[in-house]
Amino acid sequence: MIGWRARIGHVAPSRGDTFVYEFYRILGDGFLLFNTTGTIRKLVDDHLERQLERIEEATVDLAETGAEFIIVGGSPIFTRLGPGSDRKVAAMLEAKAGVPVAAGMTCEVEALKHMGIKKVVVATPYPDLLTKRVADFLAASGFEVLRAEGLNVERNADLGNLPEEAAYRVAKRVYFSAPEADGIFLPCNRWPTAGIISLLEQETGKPALSSTLCNIWYALHRLHIREKITGYGKLLASLA
């Protein structure tokens, strides 16, 4: 059976293309990702609201397709709604779908806690308002956000076209502006990040967590899967 170790669903906020690519780049045989496509085309509030209206249907569909665990992507949706919204919406969806559900933002918060990060710097591809919302959400979740900076990309299609070094450069710049941080967080699984995480950790000496890595880690953690994953940072290595 395809996906005999884990069949993971993903309610993508837009296309989900980069996340799908990085999921299969990281995980080997036995893992299957069911991905939906969403309605967010620009990182603006009316597009976020439109996607929020369709996630119930998408989540139930993924469960009926055979997903064992479902990630509801789109951290900007939940940072807009505020702290606690991620767990509240997931609980509602889980009751309807009949399988475990977590918002991507929950995966990210739990991953940061798992790595013992208390003081964090944040590097995003987002416009300033959305970057600030991420920082505020993390602060309300118990983290000290020392610095948060974004690339001011608004059009979703442009996120996937960013070169990997874009994430590397902004993350490294933000970290060295506050090197007392315990770790680095790169939200958004639409921009490519997986290939630069190990290098970023090597050069800063601190754990670096991206949305893609957090989503994969939390799904496998919840499904009680131990997997030896190398080359993609300390978080995924901890699954072994």
User: Is 238 part of any domain?
Assistant: no
Overall number of domains in the chain: 2
- State residue 24's pLDDT score: 96
In a domain, 231, yes or no: no
Q: What is the pLDDT of residues 178-207, one digit of tens each?
A: 999 999 999 999 899 999 999 999 999 999
Q: Is residue 234 situated within a structural domain? A: no
What integer pLDDT is reported at residue 49 of this predicted model? 62
Range of the domain at 93: 6-106+213-226
Whether 205 and 219 map to the same domain: the answer is: no
The neighbour count for residue 97, using CB atoms within 10 Å, is 21
- Residue 233, Ramachandran bin (φ over 0: left; ψ between -120 and 50: alpha; else beta): left
Confidence tier at 156 by pLDDT (50, 70, 90) = confident
Q: Is the pLDDT of residue 42 over 90?
A: no
Higher per-residue pLDDT: 37 or 171: 171
pLDDT at 211 over 80: yes
Q: What is the mean pLDDT of residues 210-227?
A: 97
Q: Are residues 39 and 124 in the same domain?
A: no
Do 218 and 195 share a structural domain?
A: no
112, 37: one domain: no
